[in-house]
A and B are shown apart, each in its own frame.
Chain A
């Protein structure tokens, strides 16, 4: 029940915000909002001991039971980590935003979006039903879109929001398709039930496609290569948003999804290589690109991408343990997953603090450009402390938590090379090498953050405001996070035992014991091992490379600007717009004749094509009635009149020839024993001809149409093709005798309807509805004609129609 509350409460609070905002204008709205995550965090924290004992909390509410879509909340170790992060970092971010955003901003929008996001994010991590998870997943995309474009008067904000929306929603839709495949394969939307019926799912043909689609969703959301391009642009959002969404929570939704579906897909070779390979590539590419950034937030964005790649890679490595089931050897590889979860928490602490630090610098100095910053150490000592601790932790230095997770990461990459699986024995050696190189770059950009911002000479003329220390309130949140950075280093096993090991149980549900999978984390192993040497190498080479940064910086210009992923993305978007625009303009040219051509060509292609395909053209004249000479004459007259209309130069000729056709039809009705039809046709034809003649005075003369030879040829071809199609289909269906006609029934019209004229009884009695509506048609046509002639725009408002 409490778990459901934690999803619903943020939404409820978001709905209440306008009322609170209008009632309490004087108090910063953030103070009210702060209550929500704090309450949720405290409630969830009380569950920690029970979850640590292996308890799970499930509650189901029916939503669309006929489709198996129910709101099932599910709190286990894995959900616990994420929901604690969401509410915990959420509280700190809201506290920070109270001091960051002035009351002049439209705060009610900001907090409404933020609460929506929080609720959606809690929904993602606490849902057991795939469809419900998807709903919340898209809600995070939407609320993130709203938050990125919070300052919507700026062009860059709108562009960043649109890009983030496009990429994450495309991934989300792919994920939806993957979920549906999982449903088809397993027959249930519940993740727990899918895990329970793993054999059925894994033997399904949908298994690998579903895996790839789900991964696409996870990779786009978590900014993995090559979908990472939205994250740096999303830095246009207010800094509390960047700290919350784009470092601690939303970008980890993809990670959550990978962790949550590891019991389903893990152990498969494709999964292993996709997750760990893409993660490794992202790790390297993000850290490599972070070094060249001048904007502190862009630098942090690339560092987030890189760290997410690290976590992703670790989850991939950890999934190898599932391949051969539980054994003492395979348990070793679960250490990678443990490291991933550990780094996930560490990253949220130090990256949140670093974003808040950048926000403080931006807020107090007026710029985030490292070329204009420098020498702030003595002016902003508290902020400087945050930067040093956060960066050191990110770089993986003791005595901070980043050191522990980086060591565990190196251990995992070294261990995986020993695995004789997935052709790892040949190319597995790449893992530690790339990881090590990426760590060097990580070290370099961490040094850049600290050195370029706080050391060197201050440039007061290039700063917008005179620098000074931030207000106390702004420093609270980053200091709490910094406290965690240090605290986790000192007491890593408290975290490991209470938070991480129950999550391990969620990822490896079929492994018998959690104890085996929970290592004892120690900062100092008492001896020098390979990982420590690697770290030493990172520091040594990092310092060296930072010293000579100016010398090798030009390598970033090796990639021409038109070949970057961003340029590629822009080109794909603009060219698809251009191509579709051109195509539409080409075939929708506004000329009726062209549309007729499309219709006829499709008509012929479809009908004649199908008849040829089905070999259905046949002709059986054996039941034909005999041809009398006068009928032959009538046919001849009609053909002549019809062909002559085409060549007629005068309007009068056209109308009279049309009359000839109409009267010939009437004669045919006489010949074919249809007196009522003949009567009607004669009258109607007379009236039509009269109408044509009447409108003569008002209509223009026929012009000679000067048309090109090819167009005339096309017209003739199309006309003949249409005529031939109709003829051939007519010949094929003529003399149809598979069923008796129902007309025998109508022939009893005298007894049934009291009439001797069968046609009239059909019209007036048997099928009188047709007649009634036909009368309505005539009535409407009459009204229409009347209004067309009578109603005209009055003088002075002649432009009615083009308005």
Chain B
């Protein structure tokens, strides 16, 4: 299962990279969102999968699944959510100011 998950992560990363390299800002933001999904899954996978029960004392018996990666991922989810939300609003504001969401048209200020 771990190997399969890592291959899935690789595919997600490839897709995210492809999206980040596009010209439309929305695609870039979706690309970052997918990249964070991939990273969360990778964190979980390298911590070991299905090696025990749910990490809740009293509900199940030992051995438990490693709880540390889960805590790390929980933090990461919230942070990536905050960043995605901020990026989205930034894109909105940028579109409002410049009238385009094309990175190529936005690119390069004239020489200062």
Contact = CB atoms under 8 A, between A and B. Distances in A.
Contacts of A774: 75, 78-79
A688 B21 contact: no
Interface residues of A, number: 99
A154 B19 CA distance: 57
Given A677-B77, A757-B55, A723 B1 contact: no
A598 B44 CA distance: 29
A705 B10 contact: no
Contact of B50 (A592, A672, A719, A771): A672
B9 A677 contact: no
Interface stretch (A27-35, A439-447, A485-493, A731-739): A731-739
A781 B53 CA distance: 35
Interface hub of B53, B85, B88 (most chain A Cβ within 10 A): B85
Interface string B9-24: 1111111011111111
A654 interface: yes
Interface stretch (A463-471, A475-483, A555-563, A660-668): A660-668
B33 to A, nearest CB: 6
A631 interface: yes
Interface in A571-608: 589-593, 596-597, 600
Contact of B56 (A646, A684, A757): A757
B108 A591 contact: yes
Interface hub of A631, A681, A719, A785 (most chain B Cβ within 10 A): A719
B62 A747 contact: yes
Given A639-B11, A719-B14, A621 B2 contact: yes
A699 B26 contact: yes
A329 B24 CA distance: 85
Contact of B67 (A646, A687, A726, A746): A746
A193 interface: no
A600 B38 CA distance: 16
Given A723-B11, A757-B56, A734 B108 contact: no
B19 to A, nearest CB: 7
Contact of B88 (A639, A684, A691): A691
A304 interface: no
Contact of A699 (B11, B64, B67, B95): B95
Contacts of A627: 1, 4
A473 interface: no
B108 A669 contact: no
Given A700-B101, A723-B14, A758-B55, A621 B3 contact: yes
A597 B1 CA distance: 32
A645 B19 contact: yes
A47 interface: no
A759 B67 contact: yes
B15 A642 contact: yes
Interface of B: 1-15, 17-24, 26-27, 30, 33-34, 37-38, 40-42, 44-59, 62, 64-68, 70-75, 77-79, 81-86, 88-93, 95-97, 100-104, 106-109
Given A675-B56, A676-B74, A719-B21, 11 more contacts: A592-B107, A596-B21, A631-B4, A658-B34, A684-B77, A684-B81, A723-B11, A746-B67, A756-B58, A756-B59, A785-B85
Interface of A: 589-593, 596-597, 600, 619, 621, 623-628, 631-632, 635, 638-639, 642-643, 645-646, 651, 654-655, 658, 661-662, 665, 668-669, 671-677, 680-681, 684, 687-688, 691-692, 695, 698-700, 702-703, 705, 707, 715-716, 718-720, 722-724, 726-727, 730-731, 733-736, 741-743, 746-747, 749-750, 756-759, 762-763, 767, 770-771, 774, 777-778, 780-782, 784-785, 788-789, 801
23 contacts: A593-B23, A596-B21, A624-B2, A651-B26, A668-B44, A672-B44, A673-B52, A680-B77, A688-B33, A688-B85, A699-B91, A700-B95, A718-B21, A719-B15, A719-B21, A724-B10, A726-B10, A734-B6, A741-B48, A747-B55, A777-B82, A785-B86, A788-B89
> What 7 A-B pairs are tightest by C-beta distance, nearest first?
A590-B108, A723-B14, A727-B10, A591-B107, A781-B82, A730-B6, A762-B71
